[in-house]
Amino acid sequence: MKLASDVAVVHGEEELFARTAHLFAGAEEVICAANTLNTWAVSRQRRVPSGEATGRRVRKLYRPGVLLEPGPAAHLRELERLGAEIRITPDEINETIILDRRTAILAGDLSYGERSFSVVTRPEVVQSVLSLFNAAWRGGTPVSAFDAEFAEVRALLPRILDALASGCKDETAARTLGLGLRTYRRRVAELMSALGATSRFQAGARARELGLI
């Protein structure tokens, strides 16, 4: 990776971390968008324990899915306690980091088993990415509000998931759970929204992916 270039590509999180650690360490504004907490394992492991509360502004935007697992949800609350702003968006987002409005790190496809990252310093591009992020950010919900809203949903979730995973039809599932058909389907819709899924197949895959089944 040449730092002199406007756009550089690195392969794998290791290399990304090796090349950009100093940027993370010195950054006064950190912006991060991701679908899961796993994606930016690099940044997560090393930065959080150290001084998060040094006055710098940290904004993170996630998909609702992260709140469905206890671990990540707790992690997010911890981050928030340390001063980070965390929001949730139902829209699909490409994984992105923006540092000090000067450097953008964009996750690319998986190639040869490793994810590639584009490190962009060209101002116009960074500005463009930043504006897109801000748009998504405005559309997001603060995690605290979102979390509260989902607290009770999570209580019913396991049973809904069981019903869905058993492959029975809504009619049966609703009766089994002692719910009206309409209400059951409302729950399923909420669940799918939480999983960011647009079809039941996708929802099933996501649920399994998150270990909810």
Give 144-208 as a DSSP string: HHHHHHHHHHHHHHHHHHHHHHTT--HHHHHHHHT--HHHHHHHHHHHHHHHT-SSHHHHHHHHH
Task: Please say whether the beta carbons of 17 and 23 come within 8 A.
Answer: no
The correct pick among 145, 180, 208, 213 for binding DNA (CB under 7 A) is 180
100 touches DNA by CB under 7 A = no
The correct pick among 111, 166, 183, 193 for binding its own copies (CB under 8 A) is 166
Nearer to its own copies, 194 or 203 (CB): 203
Residue 179 interacts, among DNA, its own copies, none and using kind-specific CB cut-offs from 5 to 8 Å, with DNA
199 touches its own copies by CB under 8 A = yes
User: Which listed range, 20-28, 84-92, 121-129, 182-190, lies at the site for DNA (CB under 7 A)?
Assistant: 182-190
Smallest distance from DNA to CB 64, Å = 15
Nearer to its own copies, 76 or 174 (CB): 174
- Distances in whole angstroms, Cα of residue 98 to Cα of each of 6, 9, 51, 80, 107: 14, 15, 19, 19, 12
